[in-house]
Amino acid sequence: MKRFVATARGRVQRVSYREHVYNEAFERDISGYVKNLKNGEVEIVAEGSEKDLQGFINAIDIIQRPIVVKSFTIRWEEATGEYADFEIIRGDIQEETFERMDYAGNVLHSMDMKFDRMLDKQDQTLQISRASLEVGKEILQISKETLEVSKETLQVGKENLQVGKETLQVSKETKEEVVGLRSDTKKHLDDEFAEIRKELVSIKDALARAGIQV
């Protein structure tokens, strides 16, 4: 068993530091006490195993808002076994009341600061949400304009397809007319050649009757 006498200096009174020390001792097999001193410091006397005492020191030599331990001096001694448990040695009622009021004020101030930071974060989130909404509106507008362009392009495509169909129809009609013209021309030429052939045969026959051989 070991024993130490420690003095904590800094912001250690009226910030519920003694309650913190008591709770940490309660979690371990440690006996002794913690009390406020008139000079604003806090005295801790603790007895227990060396392992428990080292863990206890690490847990109470802290900076943990609103507690700020600026220095923590320790004097090691032999354990006496005079303490049955760990306790908080209180001062007079006026001192304890003022300490409770100061601690409550610190807690309220801390809560107010946290609330202000929370409001700031909410404002930032709202600004980001508004900016995202504006971007979304712009994207929607661009999408609408793109859709209109696509519709116009589709309409032009349909018109071009219609022109293509009409051009194909004209080509078909032109081809049919050309084919018909060729057929008519061939028939006409065949008829002309047939007439010429008949006339030549008639001339040849006439010459033969006149005694002229050709």
List the catalytic residues. Answer: 18, 36
Distance of alpha carbon 72 from alpha carbon 80, whole angstroms: 22
In order of 19, 201, 203, 206, 214, the CA distances from 210 in angstroms are 159, 14, 11, 6, 11
Report the alpha-carbon angle 117-110-40, nearest 5: 150
In order of 4, 32, 188, the CA distances from 84 in angstroms are 16, 8, 141
Axis-axis angle for helices 17-26, 50-60 (nearest 10): 150
How would you list the strands of the sheet with 63-64, edge to edge?
63-64, 67-78, 2-11, 42-48, 31-36, 86-89
Number of CB atoms found within 10 A of residue 20's CB: 17
CA 32, 33, 37, 43 torsion-angle sign:
positive
